[in-house]
Chains A and B, each alone.
Chain A
Amino acid sequence: MKSTEDEQPALTARSVVMSYGHTPALKGISLAIGKGEIVAVTGPSGSGKSSLLLCLAGVVTPDAGEVTFGDRRISAEGEGQRSRLRRTEFGVLFQFGQLVPELTAIENVALPLLLGGRRRSEAMTAALTWLDRFEVGGLASTRPSSMSGGQAGRVAVARAMVAEPKVLFADEPTGALDTLAGEQVMAQLIRVTRESGTTVLLVTHDARVSAYGDREIRIRDGQLDHHPARHLASVSGPDGDLG
């Protein structure tokens, strides 16, 4: 089958299996995420959402099956290659508390660029732009310990986006959306990723967050959850007659 650059999905998983010791987390997951798609991953606690994200982002290598990013089979790559990939092509946003406590907001956001070899002045300018986009430019020289939870969350979002990743992986990025501030971070994140055509994988337990996506992937017990319509008549019960 001929496939042009644009028809190719951004990410695929084929029969991905992963466990933590004797605890199975993923039991054979296959999926494809299109370029620029915003996909929410939802499911009960412990169903394997975070594990799936770790496998797709190349943080963890699956025990079986493969993960591809474009033409690259990242599940077959070594840690060195994968960590370079995460630095250059991926933005990874895990739950709160991931900012470096010794660094100010602007230094935290500039960090991925500095690690990528960008000049300091350039990195700081870009960092400030991203802080401003999430309305925390005023906190540029503040350290994480002096920020509110929501503010630290915004700085973390800015840091995940500063290198303009092709794919953003976000695990519960905003916490609950029961505050207007949380909702504004989410809306802004979606606005900038749509503008840049960034592919987004969004793990969340919150339907309001999921509703920002184009579609939803449901996980239950380490597997995808499919629910096609099924007629009552085709279900055998103790007594088929409903009349």
Chain B
Amino acid sequence: MSTGHVLLGLLSRGQQHGYDLKRAHDDRFPAAKPMAYGQVYASLERLHRQGFVEPVAVQRVDGPDRTVYAITATGRAELTDWIETVETPFVHVANPLATKVTVALLVTDTAYATTCLERQRASHLDAMRRYTRAKTDPSLPIHEVLAADYAIAHLDADLQWMESALQRVAALGEAIAT
């Protein structure tokens, strides 16, 4: 349950109310979907029930009441557990690119599969160019640099796969021709 852990992470730096948490989240994870207020409050409720956070104050600043939450000792332990748990490698074995190439080979010929792969490559490279350009801005904050590195590494994995797929398709073409 990752939204809750992100909120716990943000609270580990000091108590905050939901509104500020939402803003801190959106600020720090610009590539993620902005958090809806409802989602923040529901998540805080759940964390409270689990004993990971507790309300410590209610702020009234010309508007609605705002409950300020703090992380508990159990919450900190839970946060540490989550951070230290190694993620299962997420492997896209059945990926849409490979499926498309296979179908292209079924429907037509190796030249067509090559065209599809090259066009996909151009599109991936466009995306990679955008992240690369963004990353070369020296004023880019660290969390955005890390996010760009991650995106580039994943695009690169796809691109490497496309290169080897192109070579396999070319070899198949030669085998059929002879």
Do B128 and A237 touch (CB < 8 A)? no
Do B159 and A207 touch (CB < 8 A)? yes
Among B122, B136, B152, B163, point to the contact of A208 (Cβ < 8 A): B152
Name the residue among B107, B119, B131 with the largest chain A CB count within 10 angstroms. B107
Tell me the complex Cα distance, A137–B159, Å.
36
Among A187, A213, A235, point to the contact of B108 (Cβ < 8 A): A235
Chain A contacts for B108, CB-based, 8 A: 232, 235, 237
B-side interface mostly: helix
- In this complex, what residue of A is CB-closest to B130? A211
Chain A contacts for B59, CB-based, 8 A: none
Do A227 and B136 touch (CB < 8 A)? no
Tell me the complex Cα distance, A212–B129, Å.
6
Do B118 and A218 touch (CB < 8 A)? yes
Chain B contacts for A1, CB-based, 8 A: none
Hey, what's the 0/1 contact readout for A185-217 against B, CB within 8 Å counting as 1? 001001100000000000000011011110010
B167 at the interface (CB under 8 A from A): yes
A71 → chain B, closest Cβ, in Å?
A: 32
Do A187 and B136 touch (CB < 8 A)? yes
- In this complex, what residue of B is CB-closest to A229? B119
- In this complex, what residue of A is CB-closest to B124? A207
Tell me the complex Cα distance, A212–B125, Å.
10
Number of interface residues of B (CB under 8 A): 26
Tell me the complex Cα distance, A210–B115, Å.
20
- In this complex, what residue of B is CB-closest to A208? B156
Tell me the complex Cα distance, A59–B170, Å.
31
Among A191, A211, A216, A237, point to the contact of B152 (Cβ < 8 A): A211
Do A237 and B159 touch (CB < 8 A)? no
Do A210 and B125 touch (CB < 8 A)? yes
Chain B contacts for A229, CB-based, 8 A: 119
Hey, what's the 0/1 contact readout for B104-119 against A, CB within 8 Å counting as 1? 0001110010110011
Identify which of residues 224-243 in chain A touch chain B, using a CB-to-CB cut-off of 8 Å.
Answer: 225, 227, 229-230, 232, 235, 237, 242
Tell me the complex Cα distance, A230–B114, Å.
12
Chain A contacts for B156, CB-based, 8 A: 207-208
A191 → chain B, closest Cβ, in Å?
A: 7
Chain B contacts for A187, CB-based, 8 A: 135-136
Chain B contacts for A44, CB-based, 8 A: 163, 166-167, 170
Identify which of residues 122-165 in chain B touch chain A, using a CB-to-CB cut-off of 8 Å.
Answer: 122, 124-125, 128-129, 131-132, 135-136, 152, 155-156, 159-160, 163
Given the known A-B contacts A207-B128, A232-B108, are A227 and B152 also in contact in the complex, defined by CB atoms under 8 Å? no
Tell me the complex Cα distance, A28–B136, Å.
36
Chain A contacts for B132, CB-based, 8 A: 208, 211-212
B172 → chain A, closest Cβ, in Å?
A: 15
Tell me the complex Cα distance, A237–B111, Å.
12
- In this complex, what residue of A is CB-closest to B155? A207
Chain A contacts for B159, CB-based, 8 A: 207
Chain B contacts for A208, CB-based, 8 A: 128, 132, 152, 156
Chain B contacts for A242, CB-based, 8 A: 107
Do A230 and B125 touch (CB < 8 A)? no
Tell me the complex Cα distance, A44–B160, Å.
12
Do A225 and B118 touch (CB < 8 A)? yes
Tell me the complex Cα distance, A213–B125, Å.
10
Given A44-B166, A212-B129, 5 other A-B residues pairs in contact with their CB atoms under 8 A: A44-B163, A208-B156, A210-B125, A225-B118, A235-B112
Q: Which 7 A-B pairs have the closest CB atoms?
A: A211-B128, A227-B118, A207-B159, A211-B132, A235-B108, A211-B129, A227-B115
Q: What are 28 A-B pairs at a CB distance below 8 A?
A: A44-B167, A44-B170, A187-B136, A190-B136, A191-B136, A207-B125, A208-B128, A208-B132, A208-B156, A211-B125, A211-B129, A211-B131, A211-B132, A211-B152, A212-B129, A212-B132, A213-B129, A216-B122, A227-B114, A227-B115, A227-B118, A227-B122, A229-B119, A232-B107, A232-B108, A237-B108, A237-B109, A242-B107
